[in-house]
Amino acid sequence: MAKNTDCLRSLVNQVILPVSRIENHPLGANILHEYLNSFENAANRDIIWSIPQYLRCAEDVYWKSYTEIGILNNNVYKLTNEDKYNGIPLVYAWMLTTVNNIDRAMYRSELFNWAYKNTSEFYKLFKCTYTTNDPQMKEDLFAVAMSTVFMLQEGNPYIEYFSDFMLNNIFALDKLNENYNCAIRYYARAIVERSYKLGIITHDVVEKSRPPYNTNRVIELNNEATSGTRMGGFKAISYDLPRYVLYDPIKSIFFLITEVVKMM
């Protein structure tokens, strides 16, 4: 698997990125998009695409990699006003799937700076990537879309285009059951509200984006999840929240204070 991972990343660095600004090149970003989009789920794809290189304590695991995708380490690949959506920006969109949140923030920022100045191309990128199955990637692109729409001046047609997209793909009655991601709903609703604020849509239309939503799906309550008995949980609070927000930090502070008191 490590060989497959390094092979894919080397291919991106040495073949796909160098030709991604050549329009309709058969080895450009579209071939990467098609390949990554072919995975059944994000977890299977992450192993060869999203895991960082030189992962600590990964010497004996099959997902280790020694190759970095150098899209931000080379000024040649910083986005420009000439970049088309299915070129370098499409590679950036897939880089949003990384598990490295520092890099992820940089990719998101680069895409926003490009999107604000090249809204028509970003709109094409947004529609192109909407059907992908990576929730993290989609959340970030929705965030970029919302930020872009709020930066556009009144009268810009893409405010209405993005608003219509959200109404037709997120808030339409036959679409509500397809998406339960609260972040995506938040970004989508903000875009629709912006459109309403500018008088592009009516009150009856904007109401479609406002909760509560009429869905016919019932999610059963998992009693085990609310017990809070796993990973040092506290009643209804379990997993990462108590471990990294409550228990571990409070425990660390408590022992630090104890040591300070001993030294006094």
Last residue of a domain, one of 89, 109, 129: 109
* Separation of alpha carbons 111 and 118, rounded Å: 10
Whether 1 has a pLDDT exceeding 50, the answer reads no
On whether residue 152 sits in a domain, the answer given is no
* Cα→Cα distances 245→102, 239, 249, Å: 20, 10, 6
234: β partners: 237
Q: Which two three-digit tokens encode residue 87?
A: 């070129």
Tell me which residue range forms the domain holding 248: 224-264
pLDDT higher than threshold 80 for residue 64? no
Q: For residues 112 and 146, give the distance between their C-alpha atoms in angstroms, rounded to a whole number.
A: 10
Is 166 part of a structural domain of the chain?
A: no
In the prediction, which pLDDT does 242 show?
Answer: 63
Tell me, yes or no, whether 233 lies in a domain: yes
Task: For residue 23, give the 3-state DSSP assignment.
Answer: coil
Q: Which two tokens stand for residue 146?
A: 């919302």
Please tell me the predicted confidence (pLDDT) of residue 192. Answer: 98
Q: And the tokens for 151?
A: 């930066």
215 domain-assigned: no
Sequence-distant (6+) residues with CB within 8 A of 255 are none
Residue 132 resides in a domain? no
pLDDT of residue 22: 96
Rg of the chain taking only CA atoms, in angstroms? 22
Domain contains 16: yes
**Residue with the larger pLDDT of the pair 125 and 8:** 125
State in Å, rounded, how far the first CA of the chain is from the last one.
Answer: 55
Domain boundary among 109, 135, 158: 109
Measured CA to CA, the distance from residue 97 to residue 90 in angstroms comes to 12
For 23-60, what is each residue's pLDDT tens digit?
Answer: 999 999 999 999 999 999 999 999 889 887 766 655 66
Who wins on pLDDT, 2 or 198?
198
Give the C-alpha separation, 133 to 94, whole Å: 11
In a domain, 138, yes or no: no
- How sure is the predictor about 80, in pLDDT bands with cuts at 50, 70 and 90? very high
98-110 burial, b at 16+ Cβ within 10 Å, e below that, comes to beeeebbebbbeb
Give the count of domains, the chain.
2
pLDDT tens per residue across span 128-170: 999 999 999 999 999 999 999 999 999 999 999 999 999 999 9
Amino acid at 252: S
Helices (H), the chain: 2-11, 17-19, 29-36, 42-49, 88-95, 101-117, 119-129, 135-151, 157-169, 182-197, 203-206, 223-227, 240, 248-263
Distance separating alpha carbons of residues 223 and 213, to the nearest angstrom: 24
Backbone angles phi, psi at 49, to 5 degrees: -125, -40
How far are the Cα atoms of 27, 183, 211, 227, 236 from residue 218, in angstroms, in the given order?
45, 20, 16, 21, 20
Q: Say how far apart CA 109 and CA 148 lie, in whole Å.
A: 11
For residue 6, is it within any domain? Answer: yes
**Per-residue confidence at 226, pLDDT binned at 50, 70, 90?**
low
Last residue of a domain, one of 109, 142, 175: 109
